[in-house]
Amino acid sequence: MPVNYIPRRFSVIRDKDLCINCGCCVRQCSNECHCFAGDGKTVLSRSDECVACHRCVDLCPTGALRIEKYVCDYRENANWTPQYQQQICRQAETGGVLLSGMGTPKPYPVYWDKILLNASQVTNPSIDPLREPMEIRTILGRKPEKLTVEKKGKSTVDMPPQVILETPIMFSAMSFGSISLNAQKSLAMAAKELGTLFNVGEGGLHPELEPFTDRAIVQVASGRFGVHSDYLNNSRFVEIKIGQGAKPGIGGHLPGEKVSVEVSDARMIPEGSDAISPAPHHDIYSIEDLRQLIWAIKQATGNKKPVSVKIAAVHNVAAIVSGCARAGADIVAIDGFRGGTGAAPERIRDNVGIPIELALAAADQRLRDEGIRSRISLVAAGSFRCSADIVKAIALGADACYCASAPLIAMGCHMCRTCNTGKCNWGIATQRPELTKRLNPDIMYKRVVNLINAWNHEIKEIMGGMGINSVDSLRGNRLMLRGIGLNEKELEILGIKHAGE
Amino acid sequence: MSIVAGIRGYAEVNDEIKAEFLSKAKVTVTDVNGQRYLGNALDGGKTLEIYGTAGNDLAFCLNGGRVVIHGHGQDAVGNTMGGGEIIIHGHAGDALGYGMRDGQIYVRDNVCCRGGIHMKEFRSMKPVLVIGTNAGSFLGEYMAGGTIVLLGLNLKRGEKLFGTHCASGMHGGKIFVRGSFPRENLSPNIKAVSLNDDDRKELDSYIRKYCRCFDADYDEIMKKTFMKLIPETSRPYANLYTAD
């Protein structure tokens, strides 16, 4: 037997007193951690392939299962941690680039947790959102330099196309291929009910999602999968994908084994063929070239669709956002490095890019300094865990936020970070029919709607506490923010004062 | 009556073209001087004739229409083309037919870098790109489907049929090359094989069409042997990753 140099990660603990040997866990685990013993009746567990997705735990009718971290100590070493040793063994065996799913798990600073919000006391009244109107409607799109009105008060300005959202929260790009059609459909249905948008990612639009095109953001990525003139015209807006926070400078690669008949229909490529979207668009080598593609899309859609440019948050993000604005983008989405992904080379995910908080603050400030902030809407992305994160992002200058991991968690995701294996037991990041059918869009969309409605209400509560009754008054309102435990430079970049100041 | 582009901006010219197409099936634009996006998203049954030099992103997202250029094309001709036909009586710039999924492009002369990049096919959609003279570097990069034909007509002494890194990352489709070609410029995953009967039949139709379009000598073209460039494997990056 070959030596396995890597101990298992988890132990599946089965309480024999509670287990009724019903076999539910055997049927549920695509990693084959549970099986029947030779007698065909007794259920046993093997922990080797367990990823701690909790599917068996959550579905066990008697609560007999528990997942534990498998502890196997190495000799203590703060530098050569077990993780690095294990990864070296894995690469020594396969010669492969380490691949993982979801956002980086590394303990980088989360600035949301180092920013505190303000509330009114005495000097101006706070507002109770249960009693008084509270506006969180968000309008995205290029705003005109100035308004002119005729005598009766009607605007005489040619208004660029605008997108009205009933919440500042949108669902970020996740392609059909990276997630299942049922997961995408759940997001589409939720977006429709919530009056917001979902983003089809770079994998084209599946015919079954056509009823939701007025709620769809469609992406144009370097591989141009599924992009054609009807795809552009049947959308709420078009997004040029330049980069993704989880893997800046790296493209997308959907391996052939995930390109099922259905996925091939949406991407418009043959079944089983690799779908490669390299990092560069080969018609974009400069801001001038970006302008060319933006206006090509505007021409092909009769100037009726706003065009968004999605970039990863990298070192010179502020200058790049300014360039995008000048190139004619109506919306710029900045994706921070904690953002999720269906698959990313781990070294890229864990080491490249910068946090969304700093990128957003820097970009917003740069646009204001240059007097072009109103030319674009800024959308922030890259890990929003709760409504307070979103309020802080808006106060730092975001017009709206892209969320993806949170709605996936609402649908069952347990952040086991093995999306790339295509064996998602929750039917989200998989194309296997026996797994995708576990996710019922009619039930799951409701959970996503509940989540966003709850966040919407929390946002209103927080705004009310500040004495603000419209999200427009919160936007870029950094006086509502104070840093806690941040150094001078961090405060300067975030453009906020320290708590107590 | 034709539209005169002159030195007017592309938006104005394209608006006029689109207005004309509301009532006509064929529109002619003359004195074109690099105006971009001509013929973008042009639907089937419509023909745009262009005299002069068409600007970048000519026939972007072409949707079944026909675009004929009596002159040269610049960069990204037929960008993300979904169907139709582009005939260029001259040469074309970089990234010709980027991501094209269906339809045909015929270029009388040469093309620059990254011709046919990301060409792909889907069911009955099979894009075709025929180039009269030669192509620059990275021809057929990431090519996932469709057919490129490289005729090598009127090559001057020392000129090669294609530049370096030909078919880099190619994992589908085929490239037909005529006469001698710089084997050293082929990417590692690419092999040259002889044509089979189906290939010859398919190729013949493209060459006949090229001759019709540009008044070329069919017999002269057929005097030289053709070879077919295809990827060794359709999954060149299959073993790149290991799950952590």
Chain A contact for B46 (CB, 8 A cutoff): no
Task: Please give the Cα distance from A219 to A203 (Å, whole number).
Answer: 8
Asked if the ipTM is above 0.90, the reply is yes
DSSP tally for chain B: helices H, then strands E: 3, 12
Give A336-374 pLDDT, tens digit per residue.
999 999 999 999 999 999 999 999 999 999 999 999 999
Give B86-101 pLDDT, tens digit per residue.
999 999 999 999 999 9
Task: Please give the Cα distance from B42 to B54 (Å, whole number).
Answer: 15
Across residues A466-492, what is the average pLDDT? 97
Which residues of B fall within a CB distance of 8 Å from A99?
Answer: 241-244
Residue A147 burial (C-beta neighbours within 10 Å; 0-12, 13-18, 19+): exposed
Which residues of B fall within a CB distance of 8 Å from A421?
Answer: 243
Crossing angle of helices A356-369/A387-395, nearest 10°? Answer: 30
Task: Please give the Cα distance from B85 to A347 (Å, whole number).
Answer: 44
Chain B contact for A184 (CB, 8 A cutoff): no
DSSP 8-state secondary structure symbol assigned to residue B108: S
| β partners of residue A183 | none
Chain A contact for B239 (CB, 8 A cutoff): yes
Which residues of B fall within a CB distance of 8 Å from A296?
Answer: 36-37, 40, 57, 60-61, 79
Nearest chain A Cα distance for residue B174, angstroms: 15
Chain B contact for A279 (CB, 8 A cutoff): no
Which string of DSSP letters, residue by residue, matches A239-296?
EEE---TTSTT--EEE-GGG--HHHHHHHTS-TT--EEE-SS-TT-SSHHHHHHHHHH
Residue A21 burial (C-beta neighbours within 10 Å; 0-12, 13-18, 19+): middle
Give A222-266 pLDDT, tens digit per residue.
999 999 999 999 999 999 999 999 999 998 888 888 889 999 999
DSSP 8-state secondary structure symbol assigned to residue A99: E
Of A90, A93, A292, the CB nearest to B36: A292
Closest CA to A334 of A352, A350, A318, A345: A318
Q: Is the pLDDT of residue A21 over 80?
A: yes
Q: Which two tokens stand for residue A303?
A: 């100037």
Tell me, what's the pLDDT at A273?
86
Largest pairwise CA distance in chain B: 66
Which residues of A fall within a CB distance of 8 Å from B169?
Answer: 276, 278
Strands A377-381 and A400-403: parallel
Tell me, what's the pLDDT at A409?
98
Give A53-80 pLDDT, tens digit per residue.
999 999 999 999 999 999 999 999 999 9
Across residues B154-171, what is the average pLDDT? 95
Give A391-429 pLDDT, tens digit per residue.
999 999 999 999 999 999 999 999 999 999 999 999 999
B151 close to B206: Cβ distance less than 8 angstroms: no
Phi/psi class of residue A370: alpha, beta or left (left: φ > 0; alpha: ψ in -120 to 50)? alpha
Q: Is the pLDDT of residue B1 over 80?
A: no
Which string of DSSP letters, residue by residue, matches A131-194?
TS--B--EEESPPPS---B-TTS-B-S-PPP-EEESSSEEEPP--BTTB-HHHHHHHHHHHHHH
Chain B contact for A117 (CB, 8 A cutoff): no
Sign, CA torsion B160/B162/B168/B173 = negative
Task: Please give the Cα distance from A57 to A43 (Å, whole number).
Answer: 14
Give A426-448 pLDDT, tens digit per residue.
999 999 999 999 999 999 999 99
Instruction: List Cβ neighbours of A41 (8 Å cut-off, separation of 6 or more).
Output: A21
Which residues of A fall within a CB distance of 8 Å from B36?
Answer: 292, 295-296
Compute the residue count for chain B.
244
Question: Between chain A and chain B, how many beta carbons pairs sit less than 8 Å apart?
Answer: 135
Largest pairwise CA distance in chain A: 89
Chain B contact for A346 (CB, 8 A cutoff): yes
Choose the mutation target among B80, B119, B171, B189 for the interface with A, i.e. most A CBs under 10 Å.
B80
Closest CA to B5 of B31, B27, B28, B26: B31
State the pLDDT confidence band at B115, using cuts at 50, 70 and 90: very high
Radius of gyration of chain B (CA): 18
Specify the CATH architecture of the domain B91-231. Answer: 3 Solenoid (2.160)
Which residues of A fall within a CB distance of 8 Å from B41?
Answer: 229, 232, 299-300
Give A29-58 pLDDT, tens digit per residue.
999 999 999 999 999 999 999 999 999 999
Backbone angles phi, psi at A441, to 5 degrees: -55, -35
A448 close to A190: Cβ distance less than 8 angstroms: yes
Look over chain A and give the mean of its residue pLDDT values, rounded to a whole number. Answer: 95
State the pLDDT confidence band at B244, using cuts at 50, 70 and 90: confident
Question: Coil, strand or helix: which one is A213?
Answer: helix
Closest CA to B78 of B24, B115, B51: B115
Strands B63-70 and B47-53: parallel
Q: Is the pLDDT of residue A479 over 90?
A: yes
Task: Please give the Cα distance from A172 to A402 (Å, whole number).
Answer: 5
A336 close to A352: Cβ distance less than 8 angstroms: no
State the pLDDT confidence band at A1, using cuts at 50, 70 and 90: low
State the pLDDT confidence band at A380, using cuts at 50, 70 and 90: very high
Q: Which two tokens stand for residue A179?
A: 């997630």
Domain annotation for chain A: domains and CATH numbers: 10-96 (3.30.70.20), 169-249+303-474 (3.20.20.70)
Q: Which two tokens stand for residue A452?
A: 């966003």
pTM metric for this prediction: 0.96
Phi/psi class of residue A350: alpha, beta or left (left: φ > 0; alpha: ψ in -120 to 50)? alpha
Task: Please give the Cα distance from A410 to B46 (Å, whole number).
Answer: 49
Q: Which two tokens stand for residue B213?
A: 């379009």
